Structure 1
Amino acid sequence: MYPEHTPHAPVQRAVEVHQPTPYPPAAIQPTPVVPVRPDMVPAVASIVLPDGRVVTGYAINPAQPEPLAARPGVSRTAVNVALGGVGFAAVCGGLILLTSFIAALTAFITQLITLAAVIFGGWIAVQILGTSSLRSGTTVNIRKAVIKRNHFHG
């Protein structure tokens, strides 16, 4: 609490009244008249009030809202989901084709390896088992070797 205020005594303040200072009227310039096309002049309306007074003024047309853009029959989200499904199906089809191609390539390589083994094995068998009178090469006679007390007797 402030010292000049007491809880039981009302506060007395001086009242100041301010009067507005009038400005001298400025020289009024006539505003130029702009010609207006007759079809652009709005209609003047007069209204008679219940007490007999007449109010005249221009009729103001309410502001028309902007027309809404035509909405498509299908939402954009539905179109995006459908396109995503088509793309996913295309990718899955490509993956199935890729898997089939890899499986076919693996089977082909396996068949080539098997064919090479059969041909090469047949050639080896003919070389070993075939009888040929014109054999050339080194003949090696293998005898029984006897090993006694860590000494080779051959």
Structure 2
Amino acid sequence: MYPDHTHGAPAQRAVQLHQSTPLPPAVAMPTPVVPVQPGTIPAVASVVLPDGRVVTGYAVAPAQPAPVTAKPAVSRAAVNVALGGVGFLAVCGGLILLTSFIAALTAFITQLITLAAVIFGGWIAVQVFSASGHHGGTTVNIRKAVFKRNHFHG
């Protein structure tokens, strides 16, 4: 173990035990409350404890809990979700109208192109087919011709 001056014999130590002394329970006594006028210094109050001690200090009014604010009937998150849904529906309705407008415009332009092709094609057809029956230009009359000695006498 621990060597000491006894040359090899184990050391002996004195053990001291400390016991705590219990305190007597405090008796709850009503504390005098001194009314305080606003804007003035409160008066000093003294309280005598059961064991004879005197405690001196300012009387403090008990702390008032903060007033509870009334919660709205509907939460803000629910209102935001509802407004987002209304906005989404408005955008979808606008997109449907825009899509319908684009489809109608495309159909109208297609009809205009078809009408122009029919009119222009008809005009070209009239020009082509009426050229064979047209009698304008140079007219050549062929009659009996006499060829004498490789010369044409008309």
Q: What is the TM-score of this pair, normalised by structure 1?
A: 0.52
Q: 1:110 to 1:38 in 2, by over 3 A?
A: closer
RMSD of aligned alpha carbons: 3.5
Q: Name the SS for the 1:73 alignment partner.
A: coil
Q: Name the SS for the 1:60 alignment partner.
A: coil
Shift of 1:56: 4.4
Shift of 1:96: 0.8
Which residue type is aligned with residue 121 of structure 2? G
> Percent identity of the aligned residues?
74
Which residue type is aligned with residue 77 of structure 1? A
Shift of 1:42: 2.5
Shift of 1:89: 1.3
Partner of 1:93: 93
Alpha-carbon distance in 2 for matches of 1:92, 1:124 = 48
Q: Name the SS for the 1:61 alignment partner.
A: coil
Q: Name the SS for the 2:108 alignment partner.
A: helix
Q: Name the SS for the 2:74 alignment partner.
A: coil
Post-superposition Cα deviations, 1:89-133, rounded to whole Å, max 9, x if no partner, equal: 121112111101110111001100111111112212322334886
Post-superposition Cα deviations, 1:74-95, rounded to whole Å, max 9, x if no partner, equal: 2221122122112211211121
Partner of 1:50: 50
Q: 1:105 to 1:135 in 2, by over 3 A?
A: farther
Partner of 1:77: 77
Unaligned runs of at least 5 residues, structure 2: 5-10, 12-35, 140-154
Post-superposition Cα deviations, 1:34-72, rounded to whole Å, max 9, x if no partner, equal: xxx965232554544334555443211233444455533
In terms of Rg, which structure is larger? 2
Q: How many residues are treated as equivalent by the alignment?
A: 108
Q: Name the SS for the 1:136 alignment partner.
A: coil
Alpha-carbon distance in 1 for matches of 2:102, 2:138 = 50
Partner of 2:2: 8
Alpha-carbon distance in 2 for matches of 1:138, 1:110 = 45
Partner of 1:61: 61
Q: 1:121 to 1:48 in 2, by over 3 A?
A: same
Q: 1:66 to 1:59 in 2, by over 3 A?
A: same
Higher relative CO (Cα under 8 Å, sequence separation at least 6) belongs to 2
